[in-house]
Amino acid sequence: MTERSRRALFVVASARRSGNSETLARRAEAGLPGGTAREWIHLQDVPLPPFVDHRHVPGSGGTFPQPSGNEALLLDATLAATDLVFVAPVYWYGLPASAKLYLDYWTAWMRVPGRDFRARMAGKTVWVIGALSDEDPAVAEPLLQTLRLSARYLAMRWGGHLFGYGSRPGDVLTDAAALAAADVFFGGA
């Protein structure tokens, strides 16, 4: 894949617009190689209804209908990306609810006829950039494991993670180590 063919989708799962996670991700975005297409989607702008898993409902055939509305927008953007960047603060040791709901929909997308979701996800790279309000980075492990295991399940590559300290708005701007890491985060990808 050439650098020009890269397409990074930043999936913002924060409940606060322009929060610490997004601030850090925008800093890291500047380090993407030239020619990389970029798209930002705030999950709060494209809400999904609660996921209903009907794989085993009699008569469903284990498939899901073609998505429409926000679901179709998210599916199309996800499939078009080469790099999925989850922009997600650590909420109660895991992903924010909007990011988890987005992942729940992957269950359906694997079963939408003609979309070949699983095959088309293979080889994409998953990244996470976020903020945590604890000095101990181990508190992010449940979030990281969710994304690592999801990537592995779909034969995706793990690009890495970047976390900065941030509880109150703007805190991450005082985390010099996180800002320096953001500047080179995508450099080796």
Give, for all 189 residues of the chain, the pLDDT tens digit.
Answer: 444 599 999 999 998 999 999 999 999 999 999 999 999 999 999 999 999 998 888 887 888 999 999 999 999 999 999 999 999 999 999 999 999 999 999 999 999 999 999 999 999 999 999 999 998 999 999 999 999 999 999 999 999 999 999 999 999 999 999 999 999 999 844
Segments making up each domain of the chain, as ranges? 3-184
Look at residue 82 in the predicted model and tell me its pLDDT: 98
> Is residue 94 within 8 Å of residue 146, measured between CB atoms?
yes
Look at residue 151 in the predicted model and tell me its pLDDT: 98
Look at residue 135 in the predicted model and tell me its pLDDT: 87
Look at residue 1 in the predicted model and tell me its pLDDT: 47
Tokens of 2: 């050439």
Residue 84 and residue 54: Cα distance in Å, rounded? 26
**Start-to-end Cα distance in the chain:** 12
Specify the pTM: 0.94
Instruction: Indicate the burial class of 25 (C-beta count within 10 angstroms; 0-12, 13-18, 19 or more).
Output: buried
Q: How many CB atoms lie within 10 A of CB 45?
A: 11
Look at residue 3 in the predicted model and tell me its pLDDT: 47
Look at residue 88 in the predicted model and tell me its pLDDT: 97
- CATH fold of 3-184, please? Rossmann fold (3.40.50)
Look at residue 48 in the predicted model and tell me its pLDDT: 98
